[in-house]
């Protein structure tokens, strides 16, 4: 079961993840198979977890997008994290570049 922010509970539906990924990946060079694989990986990771908050699902999706496509990551994050203004984008980009920047040798 998925526990929504409102406290409502509903059955897990991986199709909702795929729909969100497709919207975030619109006009990006990501094959549908990649988006389906991300949704499957998240579903597999959550299997047997019992009640799962939507926040956990969103973070798992973002972890995978970080490795796949940064533009899609930011688009997904903007909806998932409910960005209100440009500062939200700036903060997320800072976190993204810190998390993915190569470490100097």
Count: domains in the chain: 1
Parent domain of 42:
2-100
Q: Judge whether residue 21 has pLDDT over 60.
A: yes
The verdict on residue 81 lying in a domain is yes
Interatomic CA distance for residues 74 and 53, integer angstroms: 21
Name the β-bridge partners of 25: none
The answer to whether residue 105 sits within a structural domain is no
* Tally of CA atoms within 13 A in the half-sphere of 95 that contains its CB: 12
Tell me the C-alpha distance between 1 and 41, whole Å: 17
Confidence at 60, pLDDT banded by 50, 70, 90: very high
**Where residue 104 falls among pLDDT bands split at 50, 70, 90?**
low
30 in a domain, yes or no?
A: yes
Does 61 reside within a domain?
yes
Could you tell me if residue 79 is inside a domain?
yes
């Amino acid at each position: 079961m998925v526990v929504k922010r409102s406290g409502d509970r509903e059955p897990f539906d991986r199709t909702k993840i795929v729909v969100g990924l497709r919207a975030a990946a619109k006009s990006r060079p990501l094959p549908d198979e990649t988006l389906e694989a991300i949704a499957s990986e998240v579903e597999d990771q959550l299997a047997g977890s019992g009640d799962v908050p939507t926040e956990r699902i969103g973070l798992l999706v973002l972890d995978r997008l970080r490795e796949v496509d940064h533009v899609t990551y930011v688009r997904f994050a903007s909806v998932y994290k409910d960005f209100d203004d440009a500062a939200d984008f700036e903060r997320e980009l800072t976190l993204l570049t810190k998390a993915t920047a190569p470490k100097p040798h």
